[in-house]
Structure 1
Amino acid sequence: QHDHELKAGDDVEVRAAEKNMQRGISRLEILYSDRDLVVINKPAGLLSVASADENKQHALAILRKQLTRPKRSVSLWPVHRLDRDTSGVLMFATSREMREAVNEGWSGAEKIYLAVVEGRPNPSQGSIDQPLRMDSEKYHMIVGPHPEAKKAITHFNTLRTVKDRALLEVQLETGRQHQIRAHMAWLGHPVIGDTRYGTDGPHMGLHALRLSITRPKTGKRLTFETPAPDEFLDLLR
């Protein structure tokens, strides 16, 4: 975590190769844009917004530069965020007012992910209704009842299995930080490559596949979708 104070004996996770891999990105794939919203396909390894140790190479900065024209600057506001190692659909608003309007209806948004997990869930589909709270010292979600825990519900369905891994379609009923990662680890099937919650891998097996919202102003239902990248699918081979 960028604002977490380190103490003697703390474990530090460094992903230099992945971070450097994203240094050369100058343009992002735009899935949709209008005067109020811009939706992109964020690659894995790229921050959604700035952090204390990275304030230039992140999706918000790259997209702002990409959309800026002579004598016309662009303002962008993140509607939500994806973890650095999660790829997929990411939405920005062009004004604070639009961001707030979208967020007001966020509980009605449909958020669908693909996840490659360790093992084969049994039963193959189900729901996890377990509250979450953040351990600020370890930057790690703790699953289970607690006065400070917030309600969190995750639905999953197994699409296919390959050896000792499974590809899941996951729907978030709530949108807590690290929700899928923490819930799947609690279930005993951590996301592949998620070293924070318990499993190794070349990279994170988590992709934001689809996002549907009701557009403020018009009331029209908008759906944005982008397929998982090849490196994600390689986790199943």
Structure 2
Amino acid sequence: MSSEENRRFEVDESGHGERVDKFLASKEEDWSRMAVQSWIREARVRVDGRPVKSNYRLKAGERVEVTVPPPEEPKVEPEPIPLDVVYEDDNVIVVNKPRGMVVHPAPGTPSGTLVNALLAHCKDLSGIGGVLRPGIVHRIDKDTSGLLMAAKNDRAHQSLAAQLKAHEVDRMYVALVNGSLPHDKGTIDAPIGRDPRDRKRMAVEPRNGKPAVTHFEVVERFRRATLVQCRLETGRTHQIRVHMKYIGHPLVGDPVYSTNYRKFQIEGQALHARVLGFQHPATGERIRLEAELPEDMQRLIRGFRKHL
């Protein structure tokens, strides 16, 4: 059973003057501001040893301590949601996830996820990911479509996770980006971390980010956009979306990183995980799978070609 967790944070100059609830909510992806405020009401948060209110403004040099309560053990129910299964055996299942589907349950999305669908479809899934993420080895964003693999047992999960860590999994994405890229190919090597101004966004963070490398190559050019393929060397949250924005060419339809996303007939960013390659965890055979672009991206491409 999970126990309470004690965390401590030193306030630096960037946190000076910030509300304590906002400061703490930016420290972990799963810490919502509402949750932090409830911890403050329960006297779980102290600044230099004394309890404070949510609107307390921090000063540089202060120490913030928080006693995080144990998470409630959730129950994830199987749901008979149709799946586009691209590959399946006793160890691995690979699906072509549609745009708009969340990968696993989270606050605000307790059902209707890929995990709910997998639990109904598969007899067994690896338990390494815990209750909320059974079988999930890697993720793609809700509004990104394409190939995603899940493990049916712990041994397969460990093998696939090790391959991801060693950069031995081949992941190729196709994206539509705004504007015309100046080069036909290139590499973006820029560390990514949580945006200090908005915890729901990621950003290139040279000091506090984790290494992130994206290789891109132009496939086709249009008047207002460019079709590119991207290969991931690392797998940071929102990596392609952040890197393309960083070089001045955010993804078409991206509601988070692009300012003109409403101009295009697509719900979410035009990004598709097209190719997935890995070594089979049981046989050692090299598996390479491909999923065609979804209709919404194909429709956008046809429209761009008409206006070359």
| Alignment deviations for residues 62-91 of structure 1 (CA, whole Å, 9 cap, x no partner) | 122133xxxxx4335111111000000011
1:141, CA displacement in angstroms?
1.4
Aligned partner of 1:217 in structure 2 is 282
Percent identity reads: 31
Aligned-partner Cα distance in 1 for 2:169–2:140: 15
- 2:179 is the alignment partner of 1:119: yes
Higher relative contact order (CA 8 A, sep 6+): 1
TM-score, normalization by structure 1: 0.85
Residue 145 of structure 1 aligns with an amino acid whose one-letter code is P
Residue 212 of structure 1 aligns with an amino acid whose one-letter code is G
- 2:124 is the alignment partner of 1:74: yes
Aligned-partner Cα distance in 1 for 2:115–2:234: 24
Matched length? 215
- 2:297 is the alignment partner of 1:232: yes
- 2:201 is the alignment partner of 1:140: yes
Aligned partner of 2:228 in structure 1 is 168
Aligned partner of 2:15 in structure 1 is none
* 8 Å CA contact 1:140, 1:196 repeated in 2: yes
| Alignment deviations for residues 76-121 of structure 1 (CA, whole Å, 9 cap, x no partner) | 5111111000000011101233212211111111110000010010
Aligned-partner Cα distance in 2 for 1:79–1:224: 16
1:217, CA displacement in angstroms?
3.0
| Alignment deviations for residues 110-146 of structure 1 (CA, whole Å, 9 cap, x no partner) | 1100000100100121110111111364321121411
For 1:171-210, list aligned pairs within 5 A: 171-199=231-259, 200=261, 201=264, 202-203=266-267, 204-210=269-275
Aligned-partner Cα distance in 1 for 2:285–2:117: 28
Among 106, 125, 129, the residue aligned to 1:51: 106
Residue 270 of structure 2 aligns with an amino acid whose one-letter code is G
Aligned partner of 2:52 in structure 1 is none
Aligned partner of 2:47 in structure 1 is none
Aligned-partner Cα distance in 1 for 2:252–2:102: 19
* 8 Å CA contact 2:103, 2:114 repeated in 1: yes
Aligned-partner Cα distance in 1 for 2:222–2:210: 34
Aligned-partner Cα distance in 2 for 1:74–1:129: 38
CA distance change for structure 1 residues 2 and 194 in 2, over 3 Å: closer, same or farther?
A: farther
Aligned-partner Cα distance in 2 for 1:187–1:141: 15
Aligned partner of 2:213 in structure 1 is 153
1:198, CA displacement in angstroms?
1.9
Aligned-partner Cα distance in 1 for 2:272–2:31: 25
Among 149, 153, 161, the residue aligned to 1:103: 161
TM-score, normalization by structure 2: 0.66
| Alignment deviations for residues 140-184 of structure 1 (CA, whole Å, 9 cap, x no partner) | 1121411x2111110111111222111101100111110000000
Q: Aligned Cα RMSD in Å?
A: 2.0
Aligned-partner Cα distance in 2 for 1:44–1:219: 31
112-121 vs 156-165, which moves further:
156-165
Residue 190 of structure 1 aligns with an amino acid whose one-letter code is P
